[in-house]
Amino acid sequence: MRKEMVSVVSQKEIARNIFELKVKGDVVSDMTSPGQFVHMRVSDSFQPLLRRPISICDVDLTSQTLTMLYRKEGAGTSLLSEKKDGDMIDLLGPLGNGFPLDALAEGKTALLVGGGIGVPPLYYLAKQLQKRGIKVISVLGFQSFEDAFYKEKFEAVGEVFISTADGSQGCKGFVTDVIKSHSFTYDLLYSCGPSVMLKALEQQVPSASGYFSLEERMGCGIGACFACVCHVNGGLPSDYVKVCSNGPVFPIGEVVL
Amino acid sequence: MNRLAISLPGLDMKNPIMPASGCFGFGREYAGFYDLSVLGAAAIKAATAEARFGNPTPRVAETHSGMLNAIGLQNPGVDKIMEKELPFLKSYNIPIVANIAGSRDEDYCEVARKLSSHPQVSVLELNISCPNVKEGGIQFGTDPKTAAELTKKVKSVSSKPVYVKLSPNVSNISEMAKAVEEAGADGLSMINTLLGMRIDLKTRKPILANKTGGLSGPAIKPVAIRMIHEVSQAVSIPIIGMGGVTCAEDVIEFMLAGASAVAIGTANFVDPLICPDIISKLPELLDHMNVNHISELIGGSWKECEVPSLSR
């Protein structure tokens, strides 16, 4: 975890309001764990004030290049989308704990389930798992065809199933509908997406073991501000975990969604 | 001579800079970024008698040049703080400001008694200004009589100096300040956050689960400056100033307003290195202002000029 000025290598819109931002810097060498995130300032002033947490989507350790995907939504991500090649960005990272890679032995199968802007961290995970000889099945859910991204990239590392809420691509419905209609055999489930999706997954496959990566509004991103806490299943009412520093990846069932 | 050294009741500080309570946890996170021994002092997160989870999420919402928070005094309870958190800070050898909160007088007194007897705690900061809890907190900080009574009780059980953290959510802050000074407060810290709200256009509901939250960050700095300017002339106890500080120039402005030391809050979330950065920039700024010692600046905006400046 360190703070560094990184330089923008490229930026492009790859789907509706979804931007792919590549940056370069020494700090990228630390980004070896998929599921971790970075926290970036989008302005040199204090407006907007807070950093933006963005997940690590891919890393090229040789060229020290980090790829991030984010959805342009508010003032902060709009400013970020205006960054041009050569611009410098104040980046803090890598933060949090990623998906454990050694949880599966070679030859086992991982089911990756991503929803919307929760899909990006699963890409770096898929690549790392495949490299370790683990079979990867990816189920990716989007609102519609225009919002979908990285299908081909995921296809390069395993089988891919797409769902869209409006049915414009793949299966009509949600990721849970895809899982319902296919009887996947897998050893561990890895998922990242909105908490409604994670909750639905938890209910639909209660026996599943694996890992969830959570999204929550953050302040500092390093565990100091207590903005992003969750209750712990089976714990005392005062027990908690911080999504930023204890997570964002947790074993399924550990935290109250 | 250390041009930045400031000495206040219970606080011998090598510089006037401390992270503000609630914005620094118990120091562990920031220790990964810099050597905490460079700090003038450190104010740790509020302690209550029992462990508190705090409010549901979302707990933060960004605002123009600021943020709202409604954490709700989450902390592991005073006993665990003394057992698990304070020992971590020991090796840094910096004065510790222990913030104390509660719902009832007895709770405040229990926490005050325990923390003030801890050898690592230098002073207590009596939190009567948290806007984010249903009971306690701000209800003690908006009525001068209630605030004075609590101050008196806490003073009577505390073996260390007590600074009272004032809320800006009052119509007459000098009256509050004078009331707690008369009740025996050794110092003040101000300001806590301003009560605010944001509404989500999509859901048409407040963004924060708690609905309201405390506004902090650069947006509130002028309010803090005005209040410190006013209160520092109304009382004779020192003030730890805070509210939207982001740079060394802000520190000087707070001291000119009347603060004797300055706490950095929200800016720690934006830049974890903000405290050491500000500390390192202060000497150069003093040179530039032809100021020999930083204490000469305290109240400089309203005091008669004691040291002739070069421009005269």
- pLDDT band, very low/low/confident/very high, at B128 (cuts 50, 70, 90): very high
Structure tokens that stand for B167 in this block: 């809320």
Cross-chain residue pair B67–A219, CB shorter than 8 Å? yes
Q: What is the CATH number of domain A2-95?
A: 2.40.30.10
The domain segmentation of chain B, as residue ranges, is 6-54+72-197+215-297
pLDDT in tens, B16-44: 999 999 999 999 999 999 999 999 999 99
A123 is in an annotated binding site: no
- From B311's Cα to the closest Cα of chain A, the distance in A is 32
pLDDT in tens, B150-205: 999 999 999 999 999 999 999 999 999 999 999 999 999 999 999 999 999 999 99
Cross-chain residue pair B272–A216, CB shorter than 8 Å? no
Position with higher pLDDT, A50 vs B138: A50
Rounded to whole angstroms, how far apart are CA atoms A46 and A233?
38
Q: What value does the mean pLDDT take over residues A209-232?
A: 94
The domain segmentation of chain A, as residue ranges, is 2-95, 99-213, 216-251+253-257
Q: Please name which of B259, B252, B250 lies closest in space to residue B232, comparing C-alpha atoms.
A: B259
B130 is catalytic: yes
Nearest CB to A46; choose among B22, B74, B270: B270
pLDDT value at residue B135: 64
pLDDT value at residue A129: 97
Predicted confidence (pLDDT) at residue A206 exceeds the cutoff of 90: no
In terms of DSSP bridges, do strands B261-264 and B239-241 run parallel, antiparallel, or are they unpaired? parallel
pLDDT value at residue B136: 63
Q: What percent of chain A has pLDDT over 70?
A: 100
Cross-chain residue pair A1–B54, CB shorter than 8 Å? no
Predicted confidence (pLDDT) at residue B307 exceeds the cutoff of 70: no
The DSSP bridge partners found for residue A44 are: none
Mutate to test the interface with A, among B29, B132, B249 (most CBs of A within 10 A): B29
Rounded to whole angstroms, how far apart are CA atoms A60 and A64?
6
pLDDT value at residue B312: 42
In terms of DSSP bridges, do strands A109-115 and A135-142 run parallel, antiparallel, or are they unpaired? parallel
Structure tokens that stand for A248 in this block: 């964002």
pLDDT value at residue B310: 52
- pLDDT band, very low/low/confident/very high, at A235 (cuts 50, 70, 90): confident
pLDDT value at residue A177: 94
Q: Please name which of A168, A170, A166 lies closest in space to residue A140, comparing C-alpha atoms.
A: A170
Mutate to test the interface with B, among A42, A92, A226 (most CBs of B within 10 A): A226
Which positions 200-229 of B are in contact with A (Cβ < 8 Å)?
Answer: 217-218
Interface of chain A toward chain B, CB-CB under 8 angstroms:
1-3, 41, 46-51, 76, 90, 92, 216-231, 236-240, 245
Q: Does B58 touch chain A (CB under 8 A)?
A: yes
Q: Please name which of A252, A245, A211 lies closest in space to residue A227, comparing C-alpha atoms.
A: A245
Indicate the average pLDDT of chain A. Answer: 95
Domains A2-95 and A99-213 share a fold: no
pLDDT in tens, A67-107: 999 999 999 999 999 999 999 999 999 999 999 999 999 99
- From B52's Cα to the closest Cα of chain A, the distance in A is 6
- pLDDT band, very low/low/confident/very high, at A111 (cuts 50, 70, 90): very high
Q: Which CATH superfamily is domain A216-251+253-257 in?
A: Dihydroorotate dehydrogenase, electron transfer subunit (2.10.240.10)
Cross-chain residue pair B62–A49, CB shorter than 8 Å? yes
pLDDT in tens, A144-160: 999 999 999 999 999 99
pLDDT in tens, B255-285: 999 999 999 999 999 999 999 999 999 999 9
Q: Cβ contacts (< 8 Å) between B61 and chain A: which residues?
A: 217
Cross-chain residue pair A224–B268, CB shorter than 8 Å? yes
Q: What is the CATH number of domain B6-54+72-197+215-297?
A: 3.20.20.70
Q: Which of B130, B247, B275, B305 is catalytic?
A: B130
- Fold held by A99-213: Rossmann fold (3.40.50)
Cβ-count burial of B122 within 10 angstroms (0-12 exposed, 13-18 middle, 19+ buried)?
Answer: buried
Q: Does B155 touch chain A (CB under 8 A)?
A: no
- pLDDT band, very low/low/confident/very high, at B305 (cuts 50, 70, 90): low
pLDDT value at residue B311: 47
